[in-house]
Structure formats: C-alpha cells, structure tokens
Structure 1
Amino acid sequence: MARLRTRLFRAARARWTRVAKGMTLGVRALALDDEGRVLLVRHAYTSGWHFPGGGVEIGETAEAAAVRELFEETGVVAEARPSLLGVYFNVAFGGRDHVAVFRFERFSKGPQPRPNSEIAEIGWFAPDALPDGATPATRRRLAEVFQGMEADGRW
C-alpha cells in the first residue's frame, strides 16, 4: 500500500510540475564501463529502461544533479567530472522540459541499492543488446554516441 501511495504521489507531482512551473531541467547519466556496457535503470513508477537521472534541485548545478542521481539510483560514484553530451528538449513533458545528458567515463561501482519505490531494477547492457523496453530517447542517445547519428535536439 505504501508503495502504491508513493507511485501515485510521484505521478501527481510530475503532473503538477508540468502545469504549474516554468521550464524544468532534468539530467541523465550515461555511464559506460570498461567492457563498453551502458548503465540503465527501470523505474518503479513508469515503464521502460532509462539512463539514471532526475530533476535538478534548487541551488544545484546540472552536473552536480547528474552526479547525485547516478549515485542515489545506482550506487555508482563519479571519480571525474562528466562531460556534457547534450541538452535536449522533452516535448512529451509539458512542452517546457529540457534534459541535460552527461557522459561518465571514470567512476567506481559501489554497493548496488536494493529495489525500492523509485528504482525497480538496475543493469549493465551492451549497446547492441539493450533490454526490451529501452526507451526511444535512450536508444537515440546511444546511436549518437556509438553510431555517429546526428542529434536533432529532441529527447
């Protein structure tokens, strides 16, 4: 029951944010391990596999938010500053949202958090063997990195 309340609260907060606030900024962390695998998470409150990430808090830089979200959701600790892959317009999130994607290449894998009300599953995947349900935006970002596909600025 508590898990359902948490999921409903997060969904309601996301809807309220879309309507009541101005532009929003989210971040995603594209982490590649030494074997060339990419880190993805499956959220408990929405479908699909995504890069770890979330919203930028008041007073926080986008880079700091990406480092924080990467750790909170996966236990991965950045050991060097990430590079900015790009900033994308997320038309599906109320027409006011942007997503900054940071690429992490130096990090350590700490203890992986247990599944919880936010993150249902964490996995490392080869870019050419993504799990069913990897989101179109996730697939586009990986195609930009690994196949040289040109970005169009949309999430």
Structure 2
Amino acid sequence: MESRVSPDVPRETQTVSVPPARVETYREWATSGTGLTAAARVTDSDGRIALVKNGWSDGWIAPGGAVELDETPAEAARREVYEETGLEATIDDPILVVDQIYVAESEPDVRFRAEFVLFDASADGPIPDADQLGVDRDEIAAARWFEALPEDLHDDDLFRPYL
C-alpha cells in the first residue's frame, strides 16, 4: 500500500488482531475499499481535547473512522469528527501515520495492511449527548471535552505521545 501522506510525518506500526468473524469484512475494506482510516486530535481555544468512546475501543479515542472512496483522509477526518462529536472542525496537517498490519486471531498467516492517519484539528463549542451522535444510534457511547488526557485511553502507548 502506498501512503497518501508526506513521508515527513511521524510513523508508527501497529498489529491489529481481528476476530475470525470479521476477517473478510476488514480484508475487503483494506483491499477493495480505501484501506484508510482518518481521525483528528481536536482541541479548542481553552486547550481541551475532544475524545469519544465507541462500541469497539477500549477507552477514550480521537474521533475518526474509515475513509470513503470519494474522500481524502482530511475530508474523512472532518466528517467523522462531526458525526462523532457534533463539532465543525478545522482540519490541519497530519501528525501521525500508523501502518497497521491486520492479523486474523485464529490464523496468523492471514494478514493485510491498512493505514491510519491522525490529523491536528481545532473546534469550539458544546458536544451533544451521545444519543445525538454517530451514524447509528449505538455507535458513540460517550463524547466530551477533556482538560487532560484520561487514564483509560485506547491504545495508550501508541497514541498518548501524539495526543
């Protein structure tokens, strides 16, 4: 997979174990779709950071999701921030690219690659209650502004230095 982001952006590598029931869905996205995910570190004028909890993360995470075929990663990050927080974010430069290697839990030989791009972004305003956010009613469990990063950050070792 050829990266769509400047080689000057910091890069990390992550191995993601995929449940057997989801392998083909993820593989199709990685091979026939964009194979890209975009998220944003959204801060406001008071220096707070907007984070979400969703159905698949282990804790708080930057708002983001899959890049659609007709979008750039920055456009997807802006759309996802709005869907998951209700904020109209200004998307700036990427601050991290994660080269993801997806591995089937039951068959480690089954592998495919994807790319996760984290952008810097800014927005101001209130975040609505979680039941008003997301594309599906149960997609976002919580969304809020934080003065400092919470202890229960999803993939803490990977993301904390960049958030």
- Does TM, scored on the shorter chain, surpass 0.5? yes
Match status 1:114 vs 2:133: no
Aligned counterparts of 1:125 and 1:114: Cα–Cα separation in 2: 15
In structure 2, relative to structure 1, the CA distance for the partners of 1:38 and 1:108 (3 Å cut) is closer
Structure 1 unaligned regions, length at least 5: 1-10, 146-155
CA offsets 1:14-67 (integer angstroms, 9 cap, x no match): 533323342610011101122322111100344321110000001111100000
Higher helix share: 1
Higher strand share: 2
In structure 2, relative to structure 1, the CA distance for the partners of 1:76 and 1:12 (3 Å cut) is farther
Which residues in structure 2 correspond to 1:5-154 (within 5 Å)? 15-20=23-28, 21-22=30-31, 24-78=35-89, 80-92=90-102, 94-105=111-122, 107-109=123-125, 112-115=128-131, 116-127=137-148, 129-132=149-152, 134-137=153-156, 140-144=158-162
Contact 2:63 2:84 in 1 (8 A): yes
Q: CA RMSD in A?
A: 2.7
Which residue type is aligned with residue 150 of structure 2?
Answer: L
Q: How many residues align?
A: 130
Tell me the TM-score normalized by structure 1. Answer: 0.69
| Residue range with higher mean Cα deviation, 31-40 or 49-58 | 31-40
**1:82 aligns to what SS in structure 2?**
strand
Aligned counterparts of 2:129 and 2:69: Cα–Cα separation in 1: 25
Which residue type is aligned with residue 66 of structure 1?
Answer: A
Which residue type is aligned with residue 115 of structure 2?
Answer: H
Aligned counterparts of 1:47 and 1:41: Cα–Cα separation in 2: 11
Which residue type is aligned with residue 41 of structure 1?
Answer: V
Tell me the TM-score normalized by structure 2. Answer: 0.66
Shift of 1:113: 4.8
